[in-house]
Amino acid sequence: MSMTVDAALKEAMGVDGAIGAALVDYTSGLSLGAVSASKELDLTVAAAGNTEIVRAKMRTMEMLKMKDAIEDILITLGRQYHVIMPLTSRAGAGLFLYLALDKARGNLALARYQMRMIAENIEL
């Protein structure tokens, strides 16, 4: 069940509590697509900022000579979860799926599961 970037982002916004979603190229920091349900969440800024987080973690893993891959990165705020999930497919190399989730309305475990399913099915 492969899906386009737009369909994948629409699916991500269907996650309970979703505030915004984006597919981001962490080599450039540019978003390949973004959808937001909030005027307060600037996904262009979020894409660029989260790119720095992914790059820093990749560098740290390299310095530690860790032969592993990032499954996801979770940032917990007072009212939101921000989940960053690097794509593992060959075509998705260098990309991550980003989801901002309202803590009061979302279920983090379910959101991570749904994001994993979406990430595995994005067609680039």
| Interval 39-68: pLDDT, tens | 889 999 999 999 999 999 999 999 999 999
pLDDT per position as a tens digit, 76-121: 999 999 999 999 888 888 999 999 999 999 999 999 999 999 999 9
Bridge-partner residues for 23, per DSSP?
A: 33, 97
**Alpha carbon distance 66, 58 (integer Å):** 10
Give 2's contacts (C-beta < 8 A, 6+ positions apart). 121, 122, 123
Domains and CATH numbers, the chain: 5-121 (3.30.450.30)
Q: Pairing mode, if any, of strands 30-36 and 18-25?
A: antiparallel
**Alpha carbon distance 33, 87 (integer Å):** 15
Closest residue by Cα to residue 32 from 18, 12, 55: 12
The model's pTM: 0.93
